[in-house]
């Protein structure tokens, strides 16, 4: 009898392990532009894929203002930036995105720190990611399985 993981891998899914941050949110380890490694939060309730604005600038991604506002922690409205053609490396696979956004994560991180938690992530994979991939989240083995047409070897 095959395990769930073996069955998904046989069907072409990528198995991605995750851990939990202090708030109980699943996070995955990724490598972004210029080889920078960081944690990305998996958030099925987030409307977009986001990188922290300060982090995006630090690693040379040059976020471009969209002229739009987006929701932040505590109901704040924040400037939204776009990042063109972002590649994330996860488990040796390169996932290419054309729809990544960027916002200031300061209030999100302050909220976590105020509650005694670590702000140990620089991005969020939200609805855009989950809609684009055929994904299954297996909380019993702390893995997400994705099948899509936007990753390359």
Sequential pLDDT tens for the chain (153 residues): 578 888 888 888 989 999 998 888 899 999 997 789 999 999 988 889 999 999 999 999 999 999 888 876 566 788 899 998 899 998 888 888 887 999 998 887 877 767 766 778 899 999 888 888 888 999 999 999 998 666 554
Determine, yes or no, domain membership for 141.
no
* Burial class for 144, CB neighbours closer than 10 Å (0-12, 13-18, 19+): buried
Does residue 8 belong to any structural domain of this protein?
no
> What is the C-alpha separation between 147 and 13, in angstroms, rounded?
5
Residue 112 lies in a domain: yes
Distances (CA, A) of 130 to 28, 74, 118, 148: 14, 24, 25, 10
pTM value is 0.87
Structural domain count of the chain: 1
Q: What is the CATH number of the domain that holds 73?
A: 2.40.70.10
Domain that holds residue 97: 17-134
């Amino acid at each position: 009898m095959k395990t769930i993981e073996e069955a998904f891998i046989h069907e072409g899914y990528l198995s991605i392990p995750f851990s939990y941050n202090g708030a109980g949110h699943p996070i995955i380890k990724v490598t972004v532009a210029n080889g920078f490694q960081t944690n990305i939060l998996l958030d099925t309730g987030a409307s977009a894929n986001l990188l922290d604005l300060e982090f995006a600038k630090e690693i040379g991604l040059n976020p471009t203002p969209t002229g739009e506002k987006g929701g932040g922690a505590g109901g704040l409205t924040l400037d939204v930036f776009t990042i063109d053609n972002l590649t994330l490396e996860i488990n040796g696979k390169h996932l290419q995105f054309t729809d990544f956004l960027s916002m200031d994560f300061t209030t999100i991180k302050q909220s976590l720190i105020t509650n005694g938690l670590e702000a140990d992530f620089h991005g969020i994979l939200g609805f855009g990611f989950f809609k684009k991939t055929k994904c299954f989240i297996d909380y019993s083995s702390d893995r997400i399985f994705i099948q899509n047409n936007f990753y390359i070897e």
